Each structure stands twice: as C-alpha cells, then as structure tokens.
Amino acid sequence: MKKVLIVAGLVALLFVPHQIVAQKRWHIDSKKNKKPAVVAPVEKKPETTIKEYSKVITKDAVTDAGLFAVHKVDKKYFFEIPNALLNKDMLLVSRLSKLPSNLGGGYVNAGSETNEQLIVWQRFQDKILIKVKSYNAVANDSLPISISVKSNNYEPTLYAFDIVAFSKDSANTVIDVTKFYSTDVKSISGLSGSMREAYKVKGLDDSRSFINAMRSYPMNIEVIQDFTYNASKPPVLEDTETISIQMNQSMILLPEKLMQPRLADPRVGWFTMSQYNYSSEELKSDQKTYIRRWRLEPKDPIAYAKGELVEPIKPIVYYIDPATPEKLRKYIKQGIEEWQKPFETAGFKNAIIAKDPPTKEEDPDFSPEDIRYSVIRYVASTTRNAVGPSVSDPRTGEIIESDVIWYHNHLRSYRNRYLLETGAANPTARTLKTSDEEMGEMMRFVIAHEVGHALGFPHNMGASCAYDTESYRDAAFTQKNGIAASLMDYARFNYIAQPGDKGVRFIRQMGPYDHYAVNWGYRAIANASTPEAEVPTLDKWIMEKAADPMYKFGKQSSSFDPSSQTEDIGNNSMKASTYGLKNLQFVASHLSQWTSDVTNNYEDLDELYKEMLDVWSRYVGHVVTNVGGVYEDLKKPNQKGAVYELVAKEKQQEAMQWLQSNAFNSPTWLVNVSTLKNIDYAGYTERFRSLQVRHLNNVLSFGRIGRLMDAEILGANNYKALDLLRDMRKGIWKEAISGTNATIYRRNLQRAYIERMEYLMNESLKPGGYEEYYNVSQSDVRALVRGELTALKSSLNLAKAKAVNTETKYHYMDCIKRIDLILDPK
C-alpha cells in the first residue's frame, strides 16, 4: 500500500503545472540557502507559411527566367520577385485571346483589350500586395497638396499573396500565384459586368478552367488563361450553358526615365490620356490631356536643329510574324515603311523599320510575346479584320510596344469591296481572282492604316471630305492625292469614278494630313523643357494649316456631321452617292456573269449580292446625315467663325429629295429576280424592307428632330423639324396623293412609317444616350407627330376610295385603323 501511494505521488508530480514546479524548486533550494534559477514557461513558436527555398522551389521545378523568375512545380506556379522590383511601376494589360462568336454582340474581337491597370508589387509584413495605382490625379511631390492627393486617391489592393519563401541570398521573394491566375478575378476577367448580366453568368467552373501557359521575358510576363463559365444564356450554343474564353495577361515593366509628354489639341487627331493636376494655381484642378506616341529622340540634336534628317536613338521596329505567308511579306513591309516619308517630314530618317523574323540561329529566344519586339501578327482565323492596338505608359503617353493583328480572311473583304465599288469603271476588278499585285497594294495600305493606329493616330473621318467630288474622276489628281487627305480615314476605294474615266486611282494611299500629323506629334521642339513650353510652337503649326480642309481632323464619333463620315469620299454626299449607285447598278446587272457563270456554283454570288446591299445602304446613309446635319470645325477662340454650323437649308432639302428618289422608291434594279431565285427560296421583299426601314427610322430619329427644333431659334431660314416631317409624309405617301398604286415595297415602307411615328409619339430618349439633350414629352415632338398623322389620315380617307387595286385599298384601310389606335389608344 505504501508503494502504491509513492508511485501515485510521483505520477501526480509529473503533471504539476510549470509555475508550481518552479515554486517547489525554490522551496527545496532555499533549504540549502542558494538562489535558484527561475525556469520560464516554454512558449510555442508562432506558425509561419514561409519555408526554406528548396522546399518550395524543388529540384523538379521548371523555371523560366525573366522579369521575375517563373517556376512551375507540379500544378503550381510561383513568381520569384526581385526585391529591387518592388514598388516599381508596371502595367497589367488584359486581353481576349480567344472568344466565342457574337460575344458582346459581335463587337468584341480576339485581341481586344478588356482592362489596363498601373500596378506596383508591395511588401506588407509577410505578404506581397498588388496595388493598383492611378495617374488620373497628380501633383508635384514638392507641394503640400501632394499629401492630400495621395490621401484622397488611396490605391486599392487588387490581390494579397502570402510570402512562401525567400531566395538563399534573401534578394528575391517567392509567392504562389496559382490562385490569382486560375480564379475569377473580376478586374482581369474578359467578361464585363454587363456581359455577366446579359448572359446570366453563374460563375467560373474550376474543373474546366486552368492556366494554359506562363512565360517570363526580360521586360514582361505573359500568362494565358483558359476560363469556362456556367451561363444560362451564352451568346452561342445556348444548350451548353457555357462560355469559354482565353485570356492573355501581360505584365510590363514601365521605363524608369519618364518621357516628356506632349499636350494634346483636339484640332489634330491623336489617341490621348488625361490627368487632373492639382499643382495648378487656378481655382480648380487642371486637366491635362497628353497624346500617345513613341519616344523618338534624334541621335544628333545639333544636326536635327539645323533641319537635317537625323536617325532616332531608338527607331520603331516591326517584325514580320514567322507564320506570315512568304508572298505577302513584302506588302506588309511596304505598309510599315510607308510611314518613313511622314517621319522624314518630322525630321527623322529611318524612324520606322520592317524586319523579317530572326532565325533560330540568329535569336533562339525570339518570341512575339516579348515586349521588346513589336510584331505584325498573322492570325489563322476566319475573322475579316485587322487591328492595331498598342501599349502605352499611363504616366506620359509613351507607346511601349504594339502588335498589329492581321486576320487571314481579311483580304476577302477587300476583294469583294473592290469588285462591288470599282467594278463598273475598273475592268481589272471584275473577277473573283484579283491579281496578286492589286491585292498586295490593298494589303499594303491596310497594314499602313493599322500601323497608323499603333503610332497614335485615330480615324480621321474628315479627310475624305477634303477633295471635291468631281476630282475623283481626274486621273492626275487621284494619282497624286489618292482618295482622301489621310490614310486614317475609312476611304477604301474610289467608287465615284465612272466607266470611261481612264487612269484614275482606285485604292487609297498616304495623304498630306498624315505628314502634318506626324510632324505635329513627333517633331522634337528645341529648348522646350516642359509640355507647356511646346504649346506656342504647336499652335503655330495648326494655325498655318487652319484654312485648308486637307488638314482638318474629323472625329469618328460624330453622328451629325456630313463632312466627317465613315466609308464616304468627296465633299458632296448627294453627288458622290449618285455616282456610287450608278456604278452599283452596272455591277448588279453583271454580278452573275462575274461569279456563278465562272465558278458554276452560287456561293460567291450569294455572298457578293448580300454585301452589295450593304454597299447600297452605306451610300444612302451618307446622304441621311445631311438632314439635320451640323458641321463641326474644332477651333480655339482666337480663330474666326463658330465651331458648329448648320447644314444649309437648300442642301438639306436636296438630301431629302435624293432620299425619296433613291432610297425610298421601289428598288427594281437592286432586287434582281434572276439572282434571288438562285440564292434563296424566300424573303425577297423582307431583305430590302429592312434596309429601307433602317434609313427611314434614322431620318425620323429623336436626335435629328431635336437638332432641327434648335434650328428654329438659330435662324428663320433654316430647315426645321416641321419641314422634315412634312417632306417625309409627302414623299412616303406620294401614291395616296397622286392616286396611283402602291407597290409591295412601298406598302411595307408606309406601314414602317406609321410604326415609327407611333414610336415618336410614345417613346422617350434612352437615358445616357448621346442624343439625350432635350425633354421629348415637353417638346414639340408629340404635337408635330400628332398633326402629321391627322393630316395623313385625311389624305388616306380620300385615297382609299380612289385606290386602283384591291391591295392598295386594303392597305389604306389598315393604315387608317393603325393611325386611329395611335391617336386614340382607347
């Protein structure tokens, strides 16, 4: 029993708390009169996720060295970030690499940028953060207000990563980026909020989403993601309830030394970027808008200042994609170097150069993905397009890199347009096998156009209005000046030249505005050490050309200016479109002869006939813009004349008369029965009805009527809203007035007119629309529409009794009933 008690006591002693054990030891030692050492409690070390480098980046790691070392270990990806690159400005660019058809309504293409963010990688305790910086608001660091600017523009954290390891020398930090690139991070996603809503996107399907590839280059890192979303209403293949896209994420190190930006001027067309500068001494923040351009600096500034042509320190170099067919390469090179002459106008020799891709022996590491190389990409795709995107520094507007994308099938669009628009006057265009030389010439200037975008130039839709319409029939004029004052206009072919006009140029080329714009944006200005110091010289260059229409810039966004339209040529829309339709009528009568009679199938005939209807529609649309049109001539207050001027009343009346004669009459020559019977079994009248109605609705739009109501207060002799509505009623319903039969085309159009008047009576302008500048319900619109419908009803009551055939009589009876329901819905 005694032994049992002793054992139990020893066991109990083993479980005495540390504090009690320490006290006991003190008691025992005190008997020996010695001061004992106090034994402190044992503390647990805090757990950490940071491991030894070799346990994270194992011997099995596949490593790609570059801006950051990128390691792949099993299914995980790691960035090894040099600490020297923390807090350095970088650009994160998100682009759609592959996408389903009709995504975004068909207006989004492969290569489309979905987001661009200025980021820095920062360390915070045991984490690495991606912070998104903004240069929308800036101030000089030396000024007190810079403190407030930073406090009121706090940078959001895009993502936070745990530090998982340090390199052996502690110079680099390792993080796991797998989750960041394999999950649905909204700010780098290819699906906008509106797309997610429209397609009922439920979320990313992790089982069908993955990182496709990750590569590191000296100045950038490229990541390819394959994402599949569950969606109730995808844009295509609805039964799959799936949207799959491929994203390209580019992370680019921005220059340490900032380029001096150049202030934009809206009178010269440039892609731009804006900042609010709080260093201004004005009573508000000063908005600064800078152009986007490449950094071109003369090698020999002294010779350059003397007016000599000088090579730049770093020229703009474009490489040809290795995938480009050999026979096309020379035309692509010509398109790139077409810009050498305009750069010579700016004082630079060999400023832009085209190069073949290096061989494996010359450069085994060459890749189009490397940000150091700008490439003309050749994409095997059925898309008919070409685009010229570029990456620019949001701090200064400096263009860092550009990849022009050419889609394989794009030349087919040009062959078709060449045949349809020039075939009447140009015998060599009357074939499906356009010569290599002609196709090469087209490709050369399409490439040059897209390179123009990559140099910083937007579309200049005013350039095609610089030349008199009759000049397009003059061989000497067109060979010298081309068909627009700028290659950046959408003026592709000379559709005005008529059969018998010998020696005219049919394909576009570089124009005088292109030389002017390159000089304005790229010429180095001596002794101007700030953007503001350059302004007097830049203003002087503009004023020297201000009176010449060849140097006018016309915005693409204009929907009201007939001198700034897409796809048109000449300074008189009615005359140009008359010539165009005359040529198109000749083409329509020979289309079978040039297609199906040669190929012994109807595929090309079908394709070209449908595209011919689009050409007809474009010519009509150019005339419509004159009605309610307003000319925009961007000026500064020291220039004479107003910025906005109404199109003259006589010209608007001419446009209305042209539309009634050419757009709204029965199109017997265009609806070619022999063609239609070979390409479709039905829908003959519907096909043309939809085209006519598009233009009818465009004429009778709230925006156009609103501008014409404004015209009433701008002058008694202006074309007014009532004039428009009366002229439309009398023209559309001329059969009711004259007592003649209405054809099926006219009956369809007349019913569309009534539906459009109902729309004007009951609808309102859409919130946020560009035409939302007046209150419809409190304006004259409803009163004018009611008056016109009442007048029309009176005419139809008289006409139905005199109708020549039964279809027309029944039609008028139906229209009267429709009008009654609009005027008195009850």
34 in a domain, yes or no? yes
pLDDT of residue 382: 66
End-to-end CA distance of the chain: give it in Å, rounded.
110
Name 18's Cβ contacts closer than 8 Å, sequence gap at least 6.
39, 41, 42
Question: Is 69 found in the same domain as 1?
Answer: no
Question: Is 147 found in the same domain as 11?
Answer: no
pLDDT of residue 675: 85
248 in a domain, yes or no? yes
Last residue of a domain, one of 188, 221, 254: 254
DSSP 760-822: HHH--PPTT-TT--S-STTSSHHHHHHHHHHHHHHHHHHHHHH-SSHHHHHHHHHHHHHHHHH
Question: Is 219 found in the same domain as 168?
Answer: yes
User: Structurally, how many domains does the chain consist of?
Assistant: 2
Span 528-553, mean pLDDT? 96
374 in a domain, yes or no? no
Q: Residue 261: which H helix or E strand, with range?
A: none
> Do residues 384 and 278 make contact, with C-beta atoms less than 8 angstroms apart?
no
Confidence of residue 136 (pLDDT cuts 50, 70, 90): low
> Do residues 698 and 768 make contact, with C-beta atoms less than 8 angstroms apart?
no
Confidence of residue 366 (pLDDT cuts 50, 70, 90): confident
Query: Which of 773, 612, 620 is closest to 699 using CA atoms?
Result: 620
Span 618-644, mean pLDDT? 96
59 in a domain, yes or no? yes
Chain segment 734-792, per-residue pLDDT in tens: 999 998 999 999 999 999 999 999 999 998 776 655 556 788 989 999 999 999 999 99
Rg of the chain on CA atoms, in Å:
35
9 in a domain, yes or no? yes
Res. 242: pLDDT tops 60? yes
Higher local confidence (pLDDT), 524 or 676: 524
Confidence of residue 18 (pLDDT cuts 50, 70, 90): very low
Question: Is 95 found in the same domain as 77?
Answer: yes
Question: Is 140 found in the same domain as 60?
Answer: yes
Question: Is 213 found in the same domain as 117?
Answer: yes
Res. 400: pLDDT tops 50? yes
CB atoms within 10 A of CB 130: 23
Q: What is the dihedral of CA 362, 364, 369, 370, to 10 degrees?
A: -70
pLDDT of residue 104: 79
pLDDT of residue 345: 98
Chain segment 473-515, per-residue pLDDT in tens: 999 999 999 999 999 999 999 999 999 999 999 999 999 999 9
Supply the pTM of this predicted model.
0.86
> Do residues 400 and 562 make contact, with C-beta atoms less than 8 angstroms apart?
no
> Do residues 425 and 583 make contact, with C-beta atoms less than 8 angstroms apart?
yes
Question: Is 111 found in the same domain as 188?
Answer: yes
Last residue of a domain, one of 193, 224, 254: 254
pLDDT of residue 801: 84
Phi, psi of 509 (to 5 degrees): -155, 175
Question: Is 134 found in the same domain as 8?
Answer: no
Regarding beta strands 242-253 and 220-231, do their DSSP bridges make them parallel or antiparallel, or are they unpaired?
antiparallel
Res. 139: pLDDT tops 50? no
Span 31-40, mean pLDDT? 52
Question: Is 96 found in the same domain as 31?
Answer: no
Question: How crowded is the C-beta side of 153, counted as CA atoms within 13 Å?
Answer: 18
Res. 143: pLDDT tops 90? no
Confidence of residue 411 (pLDDT cuts 50, 70, 90): confident
Average pLDDT, the chain: 89
pLDDT of residue 97: 84
Q: Residue 341: which H helix or E strand, with range?
A: helix 340-345
Chain segment 289-322, per-residue pLDDT in tens: 999 999 999 999 999 999 999 999 999 999 998 8
Span 20-25, mean pLDDT? 38
Question: Is 58 found in the same domain as 36?
Answer: no
757 in a domain, yes or no? no
pLDDT of residue 380: 67
Question: Is 96 found in the same domain as 26?
Answer: no
The residue range of the domain holding 83 is 53-254
> Do residues 139 and 277 make contact, with C-beta atoms less than 8 angstroms apart?
yes
Last residue of a domain, one of 254, 281, 305: 254
315 in a domain, yes or no? no
133 in a domain, yes or no? yes
Question: Is 172 found in the same domain as 34?
Answer: no
